[in-house]
A and B are shown apart, each in its own frame.
Chain A
Amino acid sequence: MSLDKPYLDVPGTTIFDAEQSRLGYHLNQFCMSLMKADNRARFKADERAYLDEWPMSEDQKQAVLARDLNRCIALGGNIYFLAKIGATDGKSFQQMAGSMTGMTEEAYRDMMINGGRSVEGNRRIGEQQGEKK
């Protein structure tokens, strides 16, 4: 029996379920280590060397080095863990969230001030093309 995952058709969204969590264990635990000031300093001094202390995949390391949060999430990262990288870089949560949308920082901030992204057309994959289930 396969598991019930009704969230797979939500566009632009990766639900951090047990499967993603298993994929991302070391990536997320690396992020967690950045909650200590000493570790943040060591990471900033030599990111690659710090990452090599963790049994992460090369893809995961490259995604972190590129600060590609969408890629990190696809590889098992969770946003609350990944936020520790942003904090280390001095980024706000809004800057981090915005970076995943393909929008500029200003455009994303303006969208939020104007009420945020509408749910219309964003409920299901394909909905924007009129392919409602």
Chain B
Amino acid sequence: MAHISASVYTSHVPAIGAALDLGKSHEPYWKQVFDGYEYSKQWLKEQKPDVIFLVFNDHATAFSLDMIPTFAIGTAPEFIPADEGWGPRPVPKVIGHPKLASHIAQSVIQQDFDLTIVNKMDVDHGLTVPLSLMTGKPQAWPCPVIPFAVNVVQYPVPSGQRCYNLGKAIRKAIESYDEDLNVQIWGTGGMSHQLQGPRAGLINKEFDNAFLDDLINDPDALARKPHIDYVREAGSEGIELVMWLIARGAMDDAAGGPKPVLKHRFYHVPASNTAVGHLILENSQ
């Protein structure tokens, strides 16, 4: 049977991708960010996941205002890195896993979450920057990826509680898949940042670190945090953090199993306008 072995959490700032693509990763400003992922790159190589289920948000790239799905699962065989206006990132195309993705879609919808099934979708920095942070500049991504896009652009976005519960449903779906697959689930976005208006540039280290603490130790309580707390404390775009709760809800302890093991924790300010946070949690076997 397929199983979720670990979850990874990371910010997905576009400037991080640009820094890597333009060969700036050794500049002092960026080195401080990339150094936080050195352990993670090695860890990922050793873990050899068969599939990564990657929760991210589309930033007005694949989804315009013509259609705004709250939860969208990518079931295509491949996904092309998008031109977001600066030209497409020079990164490998993303190979999907249509069979597992379709299985998850069917199972999760039967568990009362109304997913949008997407067979054609270009993927933006929200998806490719986490892959770059965790792998560097490979010729091909290390394994197939199932993109899972969450609307955090137009309010109201899904609540933390709904995201956490969705993670539980995704876990059930993956564990009911017959093939023996090592699956990781990644939650991306955040941490504190605001990109608009006179309050742009907001950063809240206390909020971010409390969020990391709670995500590790008390996700049930964290899931109850209302949207307004994210907006007020972590900036209007800090709301992206609800996506981390999807990955956290898919871990064993959310279904009554043992607590996960914290393998890595990193926090740094700034990357462009944003606080960078990163965690790796492994399910204990």
Contacts and interface: CB of A to CB of B under 8 A. Distances in A.
B15 A11 contact: no
A98 B200 contact: yes
Measured as residues with beta carbon below 8 angstroms from the partner, the interface class of chain B is: 35 or more
Contacts of A14: 196-197, 236
B198 A100 contact: yes
B228 interface: yes
Contact of A31 (B60, B198, B207, B231): B60
Interface in B199-238: 199-205, 207, 226-228, 231-233, 236-237
B143 interface: no
Interface stretch (B35-43, B46-54, B77-85, B181-189): B77-85
30 contacts: A6-B226, A7-B231, A7-B232, A11-B198, A13-B194, A15-B231, A16-B153, A17-B155, A25-B65, A28-B60, A29-B66, A35-B82, A69-B196, A79-B196, A83-B59, A83-B60, A88-B85, A92-B15, A92-B18, A94-B272, A96-B195, A97-B194, A98-B200, A100-B196, A112-B201, A112-B272, A116-B273, A116-B275, A119-B203, A122-B202
**Nearest 6 CB-CB pairings of A with B:** A116-B203, A87-B85, A12-B199, A12-B198, A80-B60, A17-B155
A14 B196 CA distance: 8
Nearest to A113: B270
Given A78-B60, A116-B269, A117-B199, 4 more contacts: A12-B200, A17-B156, A78-B154, A83-B84
A94 B154 contact: no
Contact of B197 (A13, A18, A21, A123): A13
B202 A117 contact: yes
Nearest to B237: A79
A41 interface: no
A14 B83 CA distance: 27
A87 to B, nearest CB: 3
B231 A10 contact: yes
Nearest to B234: A119
Give the one of B29, B83, B227 with max A CB within 10 A.
B83
Contacts of B285: none
Contacts of A98: 200-201
B14 interface: yes
B61 interface: yes
B202 A112 contact: no
A13 B236 contact: yes
A84 B87 CA distance: 11
Interface residues of A, number: 56
Contacts of B86: 87
Nearest to A70: B197
Give the one of B59, B227, B273 with max A CB within 10 A.
B273
Interface string B57-75: 0011100111000000000
Contact of A115 (B65, B203, B237): B203
A40 B85 CA distance: 8
A31 B86 CA distance: 13
A73 interface: yes
Interface string A86-114: 11100011101110111000001001110
A80 B153 contact: yes
A34 B85 CA distance: 6
A12 B154 contact: no
B233 A123 contact: yes
A132 interface: no
Contacts of B82: 35
Contact of A84 (B85, B192, B270): B85
